[in-house]
Amino acid sequence: MTSIDLILWVKELFVIGGIVMPPLVLCTLLLWYGVGYRFWVMKEPKLMGVRDMLKDYQLHGDKPARSIVAKAIKQGIELKRQGATHLRRQLDAAFYEYERDIARFSVLIKVVVLIAPLLGLLGTVSGMIETFQSLSTMTLHSQTGGIAGGIAEALFTTQMGLTVAVPGLLANSMLNRKQQQIEQDLSQVKDLLCHQI
pLDDT in tens, 84-137: 778 889 889 999 999 999 999 999 999 999 999 999 888 888 878 777 777 777
Split at pLDDT 50, 70, 90, the class of 146 is low
- The answer as to whether 35 is a domain residue is yes
DSSP string, the chain: --HHHHHHHHHHHHHHHGGGHHHHHHHHHHHHHHHHHHHHHT-SPP-S-HHHHHHHHHH-TTSPP-SHHHHHHHHHHHHHHTT-SSHHHHHHHHHHHHHHHHHTTHHHHHHHHHHHHHHHHHHHHHHHHHHHHHHHHT-TT-TT-HHHHHHHHHHHHHHHHHHHHHHHHHHHHHHHHHHHHHHHHHHHHHHHHHH--
pTM of the model: 0.78
- The answer as to whether 76 is a domain residue is yes
- The answer as to whether 34 is a domain residue is yes
Q: What are phi and psi of 142, to 5 degrees?
A: -85, 180
The predicted structure's pLDDT at residue 145: 55
- The answer as to whether 8 is a domain residue is no
Q: Is the pLDDT of residue 143 over 60?
A: no
Q: Is the pLDDT of residue 182 over 90?
A: yes
Q: Is the pLDDT of residue 144 over 60?
A: no
- The answer as to whether 15 is a domain residue is no
Query: Total structural domains in the chain?
Result: 1
Cβ contact 88:21 at 8 Å: no
Q: Is the pLDDT of residue 181 over 90?
A: yes
- The answer as to whether 2 is a domain residue is no
- The answer as to whether 4 is a domain residue is no
Span 22-74, pLDDT tens digits: 899 899 999 999 999 999 999 887 778 889 888 988 888 788 888 899 899 99
Q: Is the pLDDT of residue 178 over 80?
A: yes
- The answer as to whether 6 is a domain residue is no
Count of other CB atoms within 10 angstroms of residue 5 = 9
- Domain limits at 54? 21-195
